[in-house]
Amino acid sequence: MMKRHVDQVWARLDELYVKGTTFIGWGELYHWYGIERISKAPWRDLNAKWEQLLDEKDEKYFDPQTAEVGGGIAFFYSKKPGHLSKLAA
């Protein structure tokens, strides 16, 4: 992976940590990782980097949620997850 792509991956993980959400397009995964088919390798790399980020923050590992959406995958992270129905009650 090229250094600029590594930096882009880290920027997305920082965004996930700070904002609680980020999006990675399928095309980005193919481009960043230089792959023709998305296998477990990119996911394992993202997970390892995420674990490293939390470790650097002295935080316990928390597996972010994911959702496949148009054109890619959205990631969600919250220390205090909740539900819309509870906010509406």
Q: What is the pLDDT of residues 20-76, one digit of tens each?
A: 999 999 999 999 999 999 999 999 999 999 999 999 999 999 999 999 999 999 999
Phi-psi category of residue 80: left, alpha or beta, with phi > 0 → left and psi -120 to 50 → alpha: beta
Fold held by 3-88: Ribosomal Protein S8; Chain: A, domain 1 (3.30.1370)
pLDDT given for residue 39 in this prediction: 93
Residue 3: pLDDT band by 50, 70, 90 thresholds?
very high
pLDDT given for residue 82 in this prediction: 85
Is this structure's pTM higher than 0.85?
A: yes
pLDDT given for residue 9 in this prediction: 98
Closest CA to 69 of 20, 9, 38, 26: 26
